[in-house]
Amino acid sequence: MSTVIPFESAKPAAALKPERVGVLLVNLGTPDTADAAGVRVYLKEFLSDPRVIEDQGLLWKLILNGIILRVRPARKARDYLKIWNTEQNESPLKTITRSQADKLAEAIADHDHVVVDWAMRYGNPSIKERIEALAAQGCGRLLVVPLYPQYSAATSATVCDEAFRVLAGMRAQPILRVTPPYYDDPDYIEALAVSINAHLATLPFQPEIIVASFHGMPKEYVDKGDPYQVQCIATTNALRKRLGLDANGLILTFQSRFGKAEWLQPYTDKTVEKLAKDGVRRIAVVTPGFSADCLETLEEIAQENAEIFRHNGGEQFAAIPCLNDSDGGMDVIRQLVLRELQGWI
């Protein structure tokens, strides 16, 4: 004979607080300090991720610990110093991501049970720290927002990996959703086009060519099935159509290659060099794969590639800012979040 416990006498669950919904914006990451020690810690975490460097065998560990982490941190620290937010003693990526979270919270403040936070995949604040903080605030549902317009295993997937690892250690797990990539979302394409046109209108010159530079990836990863390249092409095609440009007016390239393996081509730096040598004197570069300005846009594009262009005969170079926390950029994030929160708010 079974015993029935009256509902009213049952012990209440531990969490009787009204259920809240957490929204966690996540970007790639940044060193905590713009010195060799800070960059070393960051690079070790980043380059030890098998989603970023898939072959984590003994040879790679020897190269990473014996060469890269001995040589690269000091050089990259000098690059970070060129763009560092000295007022807040942090990288621009951290400053912008925090602002994106603050502005999103303000934009959806009428949903008072939604809590917005932000994290970095590598570095601080960590995904683990912020998921635990949201859970402590009573968030029984969690929307993770990887701030990458185009999906790749080395960006979006590793955010999910880390979120799942955190949840695996929790007894009371929040219900989890993850926003999809938004590479061809009409709101995103429109925001990019408006931003590009607004920036071009401020320039003292008319670019002959616009270069759309996306972060690179080893070609092998795409050959194995990563959809990243296809999505970059889709973004570029949609942007061409919206801006009324052909394949010669807006060209697609890939930047930030690392190591000796073949990466996705054409390479941004080689393209910029060739354009200058071929007689192109005025270009603008936009980076539609980045939701916020960072080392790769502020130093690699706006400084390094600008110098390559001018050194080879180019005259006028413009780096168009990312959407960042602009009104257009925030509208993209807000629409994406509200769409994925349907049924929860």
Structure tokens that stand for 195 in this block: 């931003």
Question: Residue written as tokens 């008072």?
Answer: 112
Structure tokens that stand for 130 in this block: 């912020």
Q: Is residue 269 exposed (0-12), middle (13-18) or buried (19+ Cβ within 10 Å)?
A: buried
Pairing assessment for the beta strands 139-146 and 20-30 based on DSSP bridges: parallel
Residue 344 inside a domain? The answer is no
Specify whether 169 is located in the same domain as 286: no
Q: How confident is the model at residue 260 (pLDDT cuts 50, 70, 90)?
A: confident
Specify whether 132 is located in the same domain as 225: no
Specify whether 162 is located in the same domain as 190: no
| Domain with 111 in it | 18-180+325-339
pLDDT at 11: 46
Residue 65 inside a domain? The answer is yes
Q: How confident is the model at residue 209 (pLDDT cuts 50, 70, 90)?
A: very high
Specify whether 102 is located in the same domain as 69: yes
What amino acid occupies position 264?
A: L
Residue-wise pLDDT for 112-129, tens only, equals 999 999 999 999 999 999
Report d(CA 56, CA 276) in Å as an integer.
39
Residue 6 inside a domain? The answer is no
Residue 225 region by backbone torsions, left for phi larger than 0, else alpha for psi between -120 and 50, else beta: left
Q: How confident is the model at residue 13 (pLDDT cuts 50, 70, 90)?
A: very low
pLDDT at 15: 43
The closest alpha carbon to 177, from 165, 189, 192, 163, belongs to 163
Specify whether 243 is located in the same domain as 103: no
Say which CATH number the domain at 110 has: 3.40.50.1400
Report the share of the chain in percent with pLDDT over 70.
Answer: 95
Q: What's the whole-number mean pLDDT along residues 177-200?
A: 98
Report d(CA 266, CA 257) in Å as an integer.
11
pLDDT at 90: 98
Report d(CA 58, CA 266) in Å as an integer.
31
Residue 334 inside a domain? The answer is yes
Q: How confident is the model at residue 98 (pLDDT cuts 50, 70, 90)?
A: very high
pTM: 0.93
Q: How many domains does the chain have?
A: 2
pLDDT at 24: 98
pLDDT at 19: 84
Residue 10 inside a domain? The answer is no
Asked if the bond preceding 266 is cis, omega within 30° of 0, the reply is yes
Report d(CA 299, CA 290) in Å as an integer.
14
Residue 330 has pLDDT above 60, yes or no: yes
Q: How confident is the model at residue 14 (pLDDT cuts 50, 70, 90)?
A: very low
Q: How confident is the model at residue 154 (pLDDT cuts 50, 70, 90)?
A: very high
Residue-wise pLDDT for 261-319, tens only, equals 999 999 999 999 999 999 999 999 999 999 999 999 999 999 999 999 999 999 999 99
Residue 4 has pLDDT above 60, yes or no: no
Specify whether 127 is located in the same domain as 245: no
Specify whether 64 is located in the same domain as 147: yes
Residue 345 inside a domain? The answer is no
Known binding residues are 215, 296
Q: How confident is the model at residue 12 (pLDDT cuts 50, 70, 90)?
A: very low
Specify whether 100 is located in the same domain as 240: no
Q: Cα Rg for the chain, rounded, in angstroms?
A: 22
Secondary structure letter of residue 34 according to DSSP: S
Q: How confident is the model at residue 259 (pLDDT cuts 50, 70, 90)?
A: confident
Specify whether 169 is located in the same domain as 281: no
Residue 235 inside a domain? The answer is yes
Pairing assessment for the beta strands 139-146 and 175-178 based on DSSP bridges: parallel
Residue 79 inside a domain? The answer is yes
Identify which has the larger pLDDT, 8 or 80. 80
Residue 110 has pLDDT above 60, yes or no: yes
Known binding residues for Fe(2+) are 215, 296
Residue 161 region by backbone torsions, left for phi larger than 0, else alpha for psi between -120 and 50, else beta: alpha
Could you give the C-alpha distances from 129 to 133, 134, 136, 301, in angstroms and in order? 6, 9, 11, 32
Specify whether 261 is located in the same domain as 125: no
Specify whether 39 is located in the same domain as 130: yes
Specify whether 172 is located in the same domain as 35: yes
